[in-house]
């Protein structure tokens, strides 16, 4: 869908809104209790970060990769803002669970996760992209494999590698 098409952006937003809201809920469910960001606000903030009508996406993978990055950026910005707040500015930022769909596992703070993801992306691009598509959008291995044009087995290996790499990086920051 080209950015210049009349009404194309509104149609795209309407078509993907429900999916984005599910992704937002999944991302917010990983945060510690007490966070104030709502799924609707996360979707809208991410849409604004996507640039609204200034972007053209090649395919579904490109769009949802961009949406995952935008949601990640919104969560990081919110954690940084919370850290800067006058009251409680010295407290640790909101935390995410390290496992997909795991609500009782170990947690890590959003800012440490962001730094580790940036380092992973610089060193290992595809595993970092797998993390973006799996962790922040909740896509299945088979869907990611189709989007990236590799086997699901390769995606599972990338996922295992990336999780191990990130866990080590986050453990080293503690």
- Residue 39 lies inside a defined structural domain of this protein: yes
Query: Is 128 among the domain residues?
Result: yes
User: Which residue segment(s) compose the domain that 29 sits in?
Assistant: 8-173
118 belongs to a structural domain = yes
Whether the Cβ atoms of residue 107 and residue 96 lie closer than 8 Å to each other = yes
pLDDT tens, position by position, 32-53: 666 778 888 888 888 888 875 4
pTM of the entire predicted model: 0.64
Q: What is the domain count for the chain?
A: 1
Residue 163 forms part of a structural domain:
yes
Whether 39 and 21 have beta carbons less than 8 Å apart is answered as: yes
72 in any annotated domain: yes
Each residue of 104-160: pLDDT tens digit?
A: 444 557 788 889 999 999 999 999 999 988 888 778 899 899 888 999 999 999 999
**Is residue 2 one of the residues assigned to a domain?**
no
Query: Is residue 1 situated within a structural domain?
Result: no
Q: Could you give the CA distance from residue 100 to residue 26 in angstroms, rounded to a whole number?
A: 9
Instruction: Decide if 91 is inside a domain.
Output: yes
Closest CA to 169 of 127, 113, 128: 113
Q: What is the pLDDT of residues 78-100, one digit of tens each?
A: 878 777 764 455 555 444 444 44
| Residue 136 contacts residue 64 (beta carbons within 8 Å) | no
How many CB atoms within 10 Å of residue 9?
19
């Amino acid at each position: 869908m080209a950015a210049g098409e009349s009404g194309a952006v509104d149609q795209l937003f309407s078509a993907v809104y429900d999916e984005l809201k599910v992704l937002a809920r999944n991302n917010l469910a990983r945060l510690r209790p007490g966070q104030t960001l709502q799924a609707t606000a996360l979707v809208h903030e991410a849409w604004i970060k996507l640039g609204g009508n200034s972007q053209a996406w090649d395919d579904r993978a490109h769009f949802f990769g961009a949406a995952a990055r935008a949601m990640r950026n919104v969560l990081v910005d919110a954690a940084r803002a919370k850290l800067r707040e006058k009251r409680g500015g010295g407290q640790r930022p909101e935390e995410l669970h390290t496992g997909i769909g795991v609500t009782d596992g170990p947690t890590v703070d959003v800012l440490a996760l962001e730094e580790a993801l940036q380092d992973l992306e610089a060193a290992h691009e595809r595993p970092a992209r797998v993390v973006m598509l799996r962790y922040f959008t909740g896509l299945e291995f088979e869907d990611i494999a189709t989007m990236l044009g590799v086997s699901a087995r390769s995606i599972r290996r990338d996922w295992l590698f990336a999780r191990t790499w990130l866990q080590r990086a986050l453990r080293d920051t503690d």
